[in-house]
Amino acid sequence: MDVFVIEGGRKLAGTLRINGSKNAALPLLAASLLTDEPVTLRDVPDLSDIRNMERLLGELGVEIESHNEEENALSTTRLRVVDQSEFHARYDIVRTMRASICVLGPILAKRGQVRVSMPGGCAIGQRPVDLHLRGLEALGAIITLEGGDIVAKSPHSGRLIGDTVFLGGPFGSTVLGTANVMSAATLAQGTTIIECAACEPEIVDLANMLIAMGAQITGAGSPRIIIEGVETLGGVDHVVIPDRIEAGTFMCAAAITNSTLTLTNCPLDAMMSATDRLEAIGVHVDPTNQRSTLDPLRQTCTISTSGKLKPVQITTQPHPGFPTDLQAQFMALLCLADGNSVVTEKIFPERFLHVAELTRMGSSIHKHGTTAVISGVKQLTGAPVMASDLRASAGLVLAALASQGTTVINRVYHIDRGYERLEDRLASVGASIRRMNEKETTPIGFMTE
């Protein structure tokens, strides 16, 4: 397995482009199952989660070709359904990526039946899918659990039937659950109302693509989405929205190293809760063009700090609240703030695996249930640490960039799930970060002489 070896204390400088969003691209790829026409997606990031989804779609009869050779041109992914006889998303793929669940709605709506392995939990929590199933049952699906698989059939193996469904759970709405029900409803008979829908920008991007394919959807981005079912959907050529979580991660990288970075293709309009907290911490996010002249989801901005980081309170919430996917990165930043910060995790109560590793690097964090109190320290120190889940690992990279000495981050395959060539991109703005095979480092995680 690969590790990252990071020499901390370097200032960063230069420009980074924000890639297409992983969490938008996954349901967009799944939506190609809804049509017999060709679908082209641009700026799909090159990540292991994306490759897993493409492998799954290949098994479900989708022909895929990707091109990203041309310098400065957006990558192109062309998809076309060539065989609709398969409807089983097998365990060995679903278990490696629980987001495979987002093929459930599209296959059921298009093929009348679907079998998807029940996704397991993961490092950040149990990850139930009861709301997905509630939503599809509301559209008439007959759902049973057989041998660890979700088996769903449309009534009389025909079309789903539009209805009203409440998708709220104990932690608010469900992003992929909303994607599943909204996608399925596009081909249902009649009107579907999704109450307590997820408002995330990735849902809006999916709705925009579905509308371009001929779906009739209003209200995406609000808690109430209304879908008028149609008989068929056509093809589309769609550009994936930029990744607001990657953007927030790079903003924290500039802040934690007291550097100035320019970000391009940055979805500032989709990350006001994060930039609000950055400004409160003393980090300046300055758009370099007038908002009105540019797509507010694809702006250029400069990140800078006054050198002093102020403590703040952060509570993760559904969008437009502070995103849980930036909690670990901001916690790493707050380890160096001048005072005590409080971070409360309301979406995934167990999402604190980064705390123990940050503590190994000299931070002072005390967790009480779903709240952590971070007492700022003057300096973090490099250490061998263990990546656990995608965003916790990103938090460790940020801490390592600001630490005195060498950090070795083990199991970086977690990072490769959500950040494309992270080491190359950070090195391009001055970080000392290298990918090595773990065999090249000593058992305690440092490099052999």
Restricting to residues 14-43, which ones interact with ligand EPZ according to CB under 6 A?
23, 26
102 carries an active-site annotation? no
The residue range among 33-41, 84-92, 154-162, 173-181 that interacts with ligand EPZ, by the rule CB under 6 A, is: 173-181
Q: How far apart are CA 383 and CA 64, in angstroms?
A: 42
Q: Is residue 129 a contact residue for ligand EPZ (CB under 6 A)?
A: yes
Selected range binding ligand EPZ among 83-91, 129-137, 303-311, 334-342, rule: CB under 6 A: 129-137
Tell me whether residue 170 or residue 443 sits nearer to ligand EPZ (CB atom). 170
Handedness of CA 359, 362, 368, 369 (dihedral sign): negative
For residue 202, the minimal CB distance to ligand EPZ (Å) is: 6
Figure out which of the listed residues 131, 253, 261, 328 binds ligand EPZ, where binding follows CB under 6 A: 131
Q: Using CA atoms, how far apart are residues 424 and 434, in angstroms rounded to an integer?
A: 8
Q: Are strands 224-228 and 191-195 parallel, antiparallel or unpaired?
A: antiparallel
The answer to whether the bond into 242 is cis (omega within 30° of 0) is no
Between CA 91 and CA 234 the distance in angstroms is 30
- Of 124-132, 186-194, 304-312, 329-337, the segment contacting ligand EPZ by CB under 6 A is 124-132
Q: CB of residue 126 vs ligand EPZ: minimum separation in angstroms? A: 6
Min. distance of Cβ 45 from ligand EPZ in angstroms?
A: 12
Single-letter code of the amino acid located at 16: L
DSSP for 388-417, written as a single string = -SHHHHHHHHHHHHHSBSEEEEE-THHHHT
x/- map, 92-111, ligand EPZ, by CB under 6 A = -------x------------
Stretch that binds ligand EPZ, among 53-61, 175-183, 247-255, 274-282 (CB under 6 A): 175-183
Cα separation, 176 vs 167, in Å, equals 11
Least distance (Å) from ligand EPZ to the CB of residue 129?
4
Is 132 near ligand EPZ (CB under 6 A)? yes
Nearest one of 141, 142, 167, 179 to 27, comparing CA atoms: 179
SS3 261: strand
- Which of residues 8, 140, 177, 382 is near ligand EPZ by CB under 6 A? 177
Site track 347-366 with ligand EPZ (rule: CB under 6 A), x = hit: xx------------------
> Any residues with CB less than 8 A from the CB of 123 and at least 6 apart, and which?
353, 388, 389, 392
148 residue type, one letter: G
Among 418, 429, 441, 445, binds ligand EPZ (CB under 6 A): 418
The footprint of ligand EPZ on residues 257-296 (CB under 6 A) is: none
Using CB under 6 A, which of the segments 83-91, 126-134, 152-160, 403-411 binds ligand EPZ? Answer: 126-134
Residue 98's closest CA among 21, 26, 44?
26
Asked whether position 324 contacts ligand EPZ by CB under 6 A, the answer is yes
| Minimum CB distance to ligand EPZ, residue 53 (Å) | 9
Is residue 354 classed exposed, middle or buried when 0-12, 13-18 and 19+ CB atoms within 10 A define those classes?
buried
Tell me the number of residues near ligand EPZ by CB under 6 A: 25
Residues in 190-209 that interact with ligand EPZ by CB under 6 A: 198
Measured from the CB atom, the residue of 277 and 391 that comes closer to ligand EPZ is: 391
User: Active site residue: 102, 122, 252, 266, which one?
Assistant: 122
Structure tokens at 240: 């994936």
Q: Give 143 or 294: the residue with its C-beta nearer to ligand EPZ.
A: 143
Distance (Å, whole) CA 253 – CA 73:
26
Nearest distance from residue 447's CB to ligand EPZ, in Å?
A: 29
Euclidean distance between CA atoms 227 and 239, whole angstroms: 22
| 58 touches 64 (CB < 8 A) | yes
How many CB atoms neighbour CB 163 within 10 A? 16
Answer for the pair 229, 192: CB distance below 8 angstroms, yes or no. Answer: yes
CB 282 within 8 A of CB 251: no
| Shortest Å, Cβ 327 to ligand EPZ | 9
Contact call for residue 367 and ligand EPZ (CB under 6 A)? no
Asked if residue 1 lies in contact with residue 393, where contact means CB atoms within 8 angstroms, the answer is no
The catalytic site residues sit at 122
Q: What does the binding site for ligand EPZ look like in residue numbers (CB under 6 A)?
A: 23, 26, 99, 125, 127-132, 169-171, 174-177, 198, 324-325, 347-348, 390-391, 418
